[in-house]
Amino acid sequence: MAARTSRSPRRSEALSRERIIEAAIDLLDTTGETGLTFRALTERLATGPGAIYWHVANKDELLAAATDAIVTAALSREPADPSATPRARIHAVALGLFDAIDEHVWLATQLAVQMSRDPSGALAPRLFEALGRQISALGVPEAAWFTATSALMNYILGAAGQNATNGRSAVHPSRPDFLDSVATAWENLDPEDYPFTRAVADQLRGHDDREQFLDGLELVLSGIVAVHPAG
């Protein structure tokens, strides 16, 4: 009688760490952080908890891995032109992160949590490296690399996170309706106390979040190169 072939290699492949992280991201996207439990994962993956614990020790590790996977994919964006300038490469990184945070509503919070909890871990250095290399390529003096890269990273993550938060908290069924209601409220403010806010209310009404993000990015980059010119 022939010996029975073990099925463990097939199970191991089906329940790889990558597959578990993929399922965790799906759960985070659909149910939020509170919905990410090992019980929900076992149901989604049709397996037992032991198979998951073999690859991931706990929920914190799973959240860190999911965050890392999304960021790695976002940073893999490359400009279509291989001779793209450092500025264009910074745009690609920034838009990759902006779109990732916009698509995965839990990501902004986890980025802040992960970098605060473990600043020496892989996440912060990976973001710093992706942006810092291009800051260097812009000709910014080495003494200003840390400050310039920090300011750039803080803008990208802060603005992208705020955009995602605004999108989630809007009570109107569409973004234009939400912006219109806010702009109208601004226009009705006291003209003596809020002359500037009233003046820009119509710009708020018609703005595109992505274009505004890129305009802000250019302001930051222009400031960096103006304050720290090459050479």
Q: Report pLDDT for 206.
A: 80
Domains 8-56 and 68-227 agree in fold: no
Q: Report pLDDT for 12.
A: 43
Q: Report pLDDT for 127.
A: 94
Instruction: List, run by run, the mean pLDDT of 10-residue segments along the chain (231 residues).
Output: 41 72 94 92 88 89 94 87 91 95 93 88 91 96 96 95 74 74 94 96 89 96 94 71
Distances from the Cα of 131 to the Cαs of 16, 89, 153, 162, in angstroms?
31, 9, 7, 20
Taking only the tens place, the pLDDT of each residue in 139-151 is 999 999 999 999 9
Structure tokens at 157: 């993550």
Distances from the Cα of 148 to the Cαs of 47, 61, 77, 85, 112, in angstroms?
47, 31, 22, 18, 19
131: Cα within 13 Å, side-chain hemisphere:
29
DSSP 3-state of 191: coil
Domain 8-56: CATH architecture, name and number where available: Orthogonal Bundle (1.10)
Residue spans of the domains in the chain: they are 8-56, 68-227
Average pLDDT, the chain: 88
The correct answer on CATH 1.10.357.10 for the domain covering 68-227 is yes
Q: Report pLDDT for 168.
A: 65
pTM here is 0.84
Structure tokens at 53: 């614990």
